[in-house]
A and B are shown apart, each in its own frame.
Chain A
């Protein structure tokens, strides 16, 4: 596997670039600036950085007030606290208010590892995805992270960008340009499609390579914009490959799998399988151990692809 890079660090450094370009970019954190890596911005622009302490609800409200006054606030903490701790504030002060607030959160999913279930954000995509008007992005590597953050800054409206804790191998090269609302075809294929987000994209590619050796020609789609989802790419994949597996580091309920299923069932029903956490909380452990224990590996994806291909007949 190629060298891994931190999505959080890409975020922190991109914020500094944005800060240099636009004096209206401001950053808020809730006492986690060394984990979310907003500290890079805090160091260069201390007057535009607001540490709100361990008070996420207040942070979201302040961000809304800044946005209503023409600023472009980026508010960051762990995914388990925003949206978890501040859901009503996000609903009222950001989503319903249609304000230009960017929530960029880190430590999404069980790949957080040793901190345990209290810190595993496995419901956040369901929560935030339920809010009308939110754009939801889950980048797959450091390059996509930087791109998505820039697009969020340049686009009006509420954004949620979910990053994971571990460093990830690059799945893109430097020439990649993130397009909002568009799936990215990572591998062409005709026998089945794997649709993945975030940390699971690299695993999907690994699974596709292995399946290819077994004679199954898999398409791999990265779906960095979870909302609004690229319906056309999903329908095309269903029609052309006839079987779909989704893969995400999130509960099966309310995440990528649910979104893809709604599109597929309406437009082009085909066998589906979901690689996701199954209605449970995970334990403490190393990220790799947890991904194995809860069925989020390339091997699990491979098995699911073989199942959907078999069901299709």
Chain B
């Protein structure tokens, strides 16, 4: 088989693998929602996150809850995607670098129609699509296998470079944790994205201020954070990461930036939406127990 044929047949094979029998050509691009509609979705996602981690008895609710509005804005407003055709070549890519926030991505993919919402109940169970941290091989819609931090920005650079080489106009969005930015690889990648002038790449930092051992400023100070990204050659936008209007404006603005990458530093609250989880690093990697699930779901009615 000639090499060029090989490439085609491989991508077709992998598209088939993920399409679960859906008719590829008939699937339409996901329709954007209004801010009001997104707020409803966001609440549903929070309930899923609580329910699925509670049922699993483990997982990472804190950093999932902080990213809810960011991920909702992307999947229900910003991204060009076809939930029934996850391997559509021209799709915008969302790369979750902070792989422990898998619950927010799984909930979003399910609500978008990538797989049935009922599957969320299988989180972390043996043979589930929904591994403890994201796995691109088993879960439709997951672009990257993550969980070891610091790797997503590099991956996103590869995705963005491929788009440019192919003259495709898709965009690569990558969500990083602020604590994740302790990793040296993030800064190797930050340097490279600017060097390669990737204006089809947008990084979002879920800047919830906390990591496992406590506040970032006590564990490993990231400041001056904005200045660091600027010094590495990035266009920086700061927003309230729970405000849909600000987020969407920032994503629109990023599209206008030419000649280099944009980072959106989204100021968020870890555990957002559940009183006893907010700003509580205990719930970084701990699931709510049965009583806590009840209280949390009541707060999220």
Query: A92 to chain B: which residues have CB within 8 Å?
Result: 145-148, 151
Binary interface encoding of chain B residues 149-162 relative to chain A, with 1 for a CB under 8 A from any of its CBs, else 0: 01111111111111
Q: Which residues of B contact A70 (CB under 8 A)?
A: 7, 10-11, 89, 162, 166
How far is it, in angstroms, between the C-alpha of A96 and the C-alpha of B148 when the chains are bound? 12
Kindly state whether residue B185 has any CB partner on chain A within 8 Å: yes
Chain B 127-166 interface 0/1 with A at a Cβ cutoff of 8 Å (1 = within): 0000000011100000111111011111111111111011
CA distance A194 to B10 in the complex (A): 39
Q: Bound state CA distance, A48 and B158, in angstroms?
A: 12
Chain B minimum-CB-distance residue to A21: B3
The number of chain B residues with a CB under 8 A from chain A is 42
Quick check: A68 and B144 within 8 Å, CB to CB? yes
Q: Which residue of chain A has its CB nearest to the CB of B7?
A: A24
Which of A53, A66, A154, A156 sits near B158, CB closer than 8 Å? A66
Give min CB distance, B16 to chain A, whole Å: 14
Q: Is A117 engaged at the interface, CB distance under 8 Å to the other chain?
A: no
**Chief secondary structure at chain A's binding surface:** helix
Q: Is A62 an interface residue (CB 8 A)?
A: yes
Q: Which residues, 56 to 102 on A, are CB-close (under 8 Å) to B?
A: 57-73, 88-89, 91-93, 96-98, 100
Q: Which residues of A in the span 36-51 have a Cβ within 8 Å of any Cβ on B?
A: 47-48, 50
Interface assignment of A26: CB less than 8 Å from any CB of chain B: yes
Contacting pair A61 B151 (CB below 8 A): yes
A55 contacts B191, C-beta separation under 8 Å: yes
A130 in the interface (beta carbon within 8 A): no
Write the nearest CB–CB distance from A167 to chain B, whole angstroms: 29
B225 at the interface (CB under 8 A from A): no
C-alpha spacing A68/B261, complex, angstroms: 20
B188 at the interface (CB under 8 A from A): yes
Kindly state whether residue B6 has any CB partner on chain A within 8 Å: yes
- Given the known inter-chain contacts A58-B188, A100-B10, please indicate yes or no for A88 contacting B158, CB distance below 8 A: no
Residue from the list A55, A64, A66 in contact with B188, Cβ < 8 A: A55
Interface size grouping (class) on chain A: 35 or more
Q: Is B40 an interface residue (CB 8 A)?
A: no
The answer to the question of B192 belonging to the interface, with a C-beta cut-off of 8 Å to chain A, is yes
Bound: A153/B160 CA distance, A: 22
What is the bound-complex CA distance between A97 and B143, given in angstroms? 10
With a cutoff of 8 Å between Cβ atoms, the chain B residues found around residue A239 in the complex are none
Q: In the complex, which residues of chain A have a beta carbon less than 8 angstroms from the beta carbon of B163?
A: 69
> What A residues does B276 contact at CB under 8 A?
none
Across-interface contacts of A63 in B (CB, < 8 A)? 158
Set of chain A residues within 8 Å of B135, measured between Cβ atoms: 96
A93 to B165, CA, bound (A): 21
Using A97-B136, A154-B1 as known contacts, say yes or no to A62 and B161 having CB atoms under 8 A apart. Answer: yes
Hey, which chain B residues are within 8 Å of A57, CB to CB?
150-151, 154, 184-185, 188
Residue A262 interfacial (CB < 8 Å): no
- Contact between A22 and B3, CB atoms less than 8 A apart: yes
What's the minimum C-beta distance from A286 to chain B, rounded to whole angstroms?
Answer: 35
Which residues of A sit under 8 angstroms from B3, Cβ to Cβ? 18, 21-22, 24-25, 72, 153-154
Instruction: State the CA gap A199–B53 with chains docked (Å).
Output: 53
Q: Which residues of A contact B144 (CB under 8 A)?
A: 64-65, 68, 93, 97
Cβ-defined contact, B162 with A71, below 8 A: yes
Is there an interface contact between A89 and B4, defined as CB atoms closer than 8 Å?
Answer: no
1/0 contact string of A131-158 vs chain B (CB within 8 Å) = 0000000000000000000000110100
Cα A73 to Cα B158 in complex, Å, equals 10
Residues from chain A with a CB closer than 8 A to the CB of B195 are 53
Q: Report yes or no: A26 in contact with B165, Cβ–Cβ below 8 A.
A: yes
| Shortest Cβ distance from B170 into A: residue | A69
Q: Is A126 an interface residue (CB 8 A)?
A: no
CB pair A62–B136 under 8 Å, yes or no, is no
Q: Which residues of A contact B65 (CB under 8 A)?
A: none
- Nearest-Cβ distance from residue A20 to partner chain B, whole angstroms: 10
- In the assembly, what is the distance between CA of A92 and CA of B158, in Å? 15
Contact of A52 with B by CB under 8 A: yes
Q: Which of B159-183 contact A (CB under 8 A)?
A: 159-163, 165-166
* Contact between A66 and B145, CB atoms less than 8 A apart: no
CB distance from A144 to the nearest CB of B (A): 20
Would you list which residues of chain B between 196 and 211 have a CB under 8 Å from chain A? Answer: 196
- The reply to whether A65 and B1 contact each other, CB–CB distance below 8 Å, is no
Q: Quick one: closest B residue to A92, CB to CB?
A: B148
B189 within 8 A of A: yes
B158 close to A65 (CB less than 8 A): yes
Among B89, B137, B160, B161, residue most surrounded by chain A Cβ atoms (within 10 Å): B161
> A89 — nearest CB in chain B belongs to which residue?
B151
Identify the closest chain B residue to A26 (Cβ). Answer: B165
Beyond the given pairs A60-B154, A62-B158, A100-B10, 12 more chain A to chain B contacts, judged by CB atoms under 8 angstroms and listed by A's residue number, are: A23-B4, A24-B7, A59-B154, A64-B155, A68-B143, A89-B154, A91-B148, A92-B146, A93-B151, A96-B145, A97-B136, A97-B145
- Return 27 A-B CB contacts under 8 Å, by A number: A18-B3, A24-B4, A24-B7, A26-B165, A48-B165, A50-B196, A53-B191, A57-B150, A58-B157, A61-B151, A61-B152, A62-B155, A62-B157, A64-B154, A65-B144, A65-B154, A65-B157, A65-B160, A65-B161, A66-B158, A68-B159, A69-B159, A70-B162, A71-B158, A92-B148, A97-B136, A156-B6
Binding site for B on A (CB under 8 A): 18, 21-26, 47-48, 50, 52-53, 55, 57-73, 88-89, 91-93, 96-98, 100, 153-154, 156
List chain B positions with a Cβ less than 8 A from chain A.
1-4, 6-7, 10-11, 89, 135-137, 143-148, 150-163, 165-166, 184-185, 188-189, 191-192, 195-196
